[in-house]
Structure 1
Amino acid sequence: MSDEQSIIIKRVNKCPHAAHGGAWKIAFADFMTATMAFFLLLWVMGGTNDEEMKAIAEYFRNPTVIDASPEVLVESKSQGRQTNTIIDAGGFQDMPTGKEGDESGSGKAKEEAEMEQLKLEIQKKIAADPELSKLKDQLKLDVTPNGLQIQILDDRKRPMFEAGVDVPRDYAAKLIKEVGQILAHTDRPISIAGHTDSSRYASQDYTNWELSADRANAARRLLIRGGVPEKRIAQVVGLADTVPFDKQNPYNPRNRRISIIVLSQDAQQRLKSLSEAPGVEDLSKELKLGTPVQRAPAPAAPAHH
């Protein structure tokens, strides 16, 4: 029996929770993330004013008003009326909404697209002509709130007009007529302004005012020859040297220019309001209605003694 080898059986007791490993860490991380988000929310709400709080509440009350947008609708009271406004979550700037706002916005977008298309057509037409393409640096096109501004600038080596007169050079006349062919395709009114530099005339009878006005009228005639209907010309003015292109150098040749503006709707209304005489509309209404116009009584004739 002493020669028999002893058999030792070793039993290992496994911990019942050993299989979970680090799962508790994931749960703890979720808890910490939620806690951080909660305190971040409290911090943001602490710096929010009453108006912004109302906007946020309105958004969560009816989140389907705006489709996937960070903007919310709130009610604002202005002059006794309630109007819907959009508050941007980034800058909280009010913008009008509703049918009127949509129509105004779409109208301006359509108007701007039309101006951009006119600008592109003019650029293409000038680039396609070898002679006129040399003048591209003297043709400045900009879409502004007033409309499409077309400025034809003078140059020391390539002036647009003969010196001191309203006679355009051949290439300048061709350029303006080509522009007129493009502008003939739109029904928007056109304003034309002539500009000069600050060089003075020796004579007081003919000044930069007369010269700028005469050159503006010369441009008007060329636009009409290009196809622009005469009734579309809303304004022709001479501004002398009062609106220089180069404000730092009033004698810069580029100050001598013709400015043609295809007027936007807003600019057209402003121009119309400036040109209308006050009281004319009221008088015309009275005449149409047949209401006699009251005239002051004639003074009595002096008595003869």
Structure 2
Amino acid sequence: MTKLLRYFFKSSSFYWLFGLVLSLLFHSIPVTANDRSIGNSLQVPDAGLGNQANQPHQHYRPLIIPSTEFRRLASRGGTNGRSRAGTRGDCPAVNGSPELTAIVPLAQGSLDNAVVETAIGTTTAAYPTFWFYLPYSTDEIHSVQFVVNDEQDMPLFAPVTVPLNSSFPGLVSIQLPSSSPPLEVGKYYRWYVMLDCSPQGGNDAFVDAFVQRVALAPGIAVQLETVSPTERINLLLDNGSWHEAVSELYALQMQSPDDVSIRAAWSSMLELGGITSQSSNK
């Protein structure tokens, strides 16, 4: 049976069906980097509540894309959230750690009677933050560039250079630059991270994924201002804000590095986005 996907949401052209609610798993969610299409529940426990927070929630909805819409996306070329095979160029081989990875879930759709997966996340922000895993140190790469294309595969802005620092390899975040027009509700965009590992220039490796901006459900904006940080993240996941949930959970686990439950939730979110817990320490 086809595995459930990430989370349901609405687009401007199609109504998305809300389906199966999956139960909360606290200390681990058995998802690996090679099995991202499993529709596990993800809930961030409220700090200090212990088992009282372990109650049914709807915090992680699998994403299913209607075949007509999926065909339109596939015509632009599928994405898998990973470096393209055969495009490594001068970049060194990655052994024992994830490849260049876009931190987004996988979604499934039907194409020519076959089930196809693609990497796609949703956001409610006009200028969202994008996350990816960079497997190289600053000594191994010359530059990292980021760009977002519209539905006609035209860039929204000139590629921007991602600052290099000593924390690499590790997770990297970059916000849609102010030079870009805002993302429009209901539209799909494709974002790229491109690596140049040679001083001579040229894109040696890249990763890409889709993002769709969705409308925030009525009344949710008010709730987001009144709930605890952990419940805020759960509300974001409930309402199609994958990108925002990643950013806020990252900030929360940085603020509470000794909180075992928060660390477990962060590791689980990374695994859903394609990074195993063994490699998420960075």
TM-score band, normalised by shorter chain:
under 0.3
Higher radius of gyration, 1 or 2? 1
TM-score relative to the length of structure 2: 0.23
Which protein, 1 or 2, shows the higher relative CO under an 8 Å CA cutoff with sep ≥ 6?
Answer: 2
Structure richer in helix, relative to its length = 1
TM-score relative to the length of structure 1: 0.22
